Structure 1
Amino acid sequence: MTDKRLEDNIVQFCGVTGATTRDARKFLEKYKRLDMAIDAYYNDPTALSSTPSRQTTSAPSTSKLTTLFNRYKDPDADEITVDGTIKLCEDLGVNPEDVVLLAVAYELKSPRVGEWKKQGWIEGWKGIGCDSIPAMKAALPLLRDKLARDPTYFRKVYNHTFDFARSEGQRSLGIETAQAFWGLLLPHGLQGGALSHTTDSGNDEDVSMEQEDGWKPEFVQWWFDFLTEKGGKGVSKDTWAMFLDFVRTINSTFSNYDMEAAWPSTIDDFVEYAKARLASGA
């Protein structure tokens, strides 16, 4: 780990945990990775401390989180709405379209875009370990990294995103809306390894596939092109959920696809489309 990266990680470690710089350095030097060091610290904050008798970090404050919630809350409602969300994003220094906010939405149990309930806000940030804007800012890179590399966590955020993105009263996602959220999630998971190729759709553990290539980044655009050409009213929850398994299990030539399996018809049709496109070299 370079000195610059270590110093950056120390700042984030302290922001999330409230630990001293000295302890942060000890945990980071031992565990190398920021997320592993933080997990180890929460499991036993005094494990590497030179002063074992020191007090452990206090839990996030409900009163502080309530004060923050009220700062962003709609004055005419009991929740944070779109205007408050925009202000929150400004204070956190994050683009409202950053994929990390989908992880935050999952953690805080946000029911839909631009809407945050008080209970979910308090319990969610407590679970992350934050009760201040600096700590929240420091936690975002950790959530972004976890979403990119952890298949199980990616699936949880992915599944929550369907309901989060869906308009109130609607059972499906509009095609354009679905594409927008797939456009955030899929490249992020592909780049970080959360969507690494596996032979078992029910297993989120990474599987070595040295002899076979899986889903390629360019297939995301193929999927969008197909949906645009096909038209239709929207994407069902079943199609949304099963598409994740499809991406993780399909090989790069689509030759291992089982038409007799219980895939949604939209995915059946896409496989035919993709095979034709591969054959044509388009």
Structure 2
Amino acid sequence: MDKQTEEKIAQFCAVTGASTRDAKKFIEKYKRLEIAIDAYYNEPMMSRQQPPPAPSTSKLNQLFDQYKDPDGEDITVDGTIKLCEDLGVDPEDVVLLAVAFELKSPGMGEWTRKGWVDGWKAVGCDALPTMKTGLLRLRDRLGSDATYFQQVYNYAFEFTRAPGQRSLGIDMAQGFWAILLPHGLQGGALSHITTHQDGDGDDRMSGDEEEGWQDEHTQWWIEFLEEKKLKGVSKDVWQMFLEFVRTIDSKFEKYDAEAAWPSTIDDFVEYAKNRVAVGH
């Protein structure tokens, strides 16, 4: 058995509480860890006998102590980098924004003991193998769940804003948009919302991916902000931009200039229309 398969089996057992024998059976059958776990819970003939044990507070505290700043009470940047290495995830991976939301991170690369314990317990993890699987679930939810995406998106503004500052630094904002928007577009969390309403009077999501915001528009937005030489992004612009992305058409023709959009978005629409007119 190769090392990668052994690691999958260990993670499978940690998440499900299954025996090594059952874990091996599901991993060999389904290959991908997350699919194997789903099958374990859903297949009636091979389902688990007992629910997985609840995450252990003591295990989480011990793990926290491994990464905690030796001279402080919290996990800081150095500990976060070590944690990312052990989890096999890039420190700039979009999934860490979901982790920050779940663990109520007070700042970039910072984790309190209470947030760590409560957050990981809510995700269902108390060890590195289960955390790796938890990241898979969080990544999928962030990409596919529109409400969850908005929660993480709004939290990203709050926990990275410098103390005492009302706006988010432009470099930080651009970096977040560059990783969040493509992830939401790919997974469906940012599916285009049409102005048509369903029978209940609610706006509906369009099934046509070509109707709305495209990946190239994210690059236009970043280039536009660079040309404007803005130093920061206000909370109003940050939050309303998400609604703009979900509702604007791909040619920027249905924009309501009389609506209460921030002037930065008004200016961008004119910029985008010009790029559409000249073939980008």
**Fold match by TM threshold 0.5:** yes
Alpha-carbon deviation of 1:93? 1.0
Alpha-carbon deviation of 1:263? 1.0
Aligned equivalents of 1:260 and 1:275: distance in 2? Answer: 17
Change in 2 beyond 3 A, CA 1:211/1:158: closer
Aligned equivalents of 1:171 and 1:225: distance in 2? Answer: 23
Aligned equivalents of 2:219 and 2:158: distance in 1? Answer: 23
Aligned equivalents of 2:103 and 2:112: distance in 1? Answer: 8
Aligned equivalents of 1:275 and 1:20: distance in 2? Answer: 59
Aligned equivalents of 1:193 and 1:51: distance in 2? Answer: 30
2:95 maps to 1:107: no
Which string of whole-angstrom CA distances, capped at 9 and with x for unpartnered residues, describes residues 29-87 of structure 1? Answer: 9xx9948965994xxx9x947698x5432210000000011111112211111111011
Aligned equivalents of 1:205 and 1:148: distance in 2? Answer: 20
Contact (CA 8 Å) 1:162, 1:173: kept in 2 or not? yes
Secondary structure of the residue aligned to 1:199 is strand
Aligned equivalents of 2:171 and 2:202: distance in 1? Answer: 28
Contact (CA 8 Å) 1:12, 1:139: kept in 2 or not? no
Counterpart in the other structure of 2:66: 71
2:222 maps to 1:224: yes
Alpha-carbon deviation of 1:99? 0.8
Match for 2:236 among 235, 238, 252? 238
Alpha-carbon deviation of 1:137? 1.4
TM-score by length of 2: 0.84
Contact (CA 8 Å) 1:152, 1:204: kept in 2 or not? no
1:136-215 to 2 correspondences below 5 Å: 136-199=131-194, 207-210=205-208, 213-215=211-213
Secondary structure of the residue aligned to 1:235 is strand
TM-score by length of 1: 0.84
Change in 2 beyond 3 A, CA 1:141/1:276: same
Counterpart in the other structure of 2:270: 272
Identity of aligned residues (%): 61
- Segments of structure 2 that go 5 or more residues without pairing to the other structure are 1-5
Alpha-carbon deviation of 1:230? 0.9
Secondary structure of the residue aligned to 2:125 is coil
Contact (CA 8 Å) 1:239, 1:264: kept in 2 or not? yes
**Total equivalences in the alignment:** 271
How big is the alpha-carbon RMSD for the aligned residues of Structure 1 and Structure 2?
3.4
Contact (CA 8 Å) 1:13, 1:38: kept in 2 or not? no
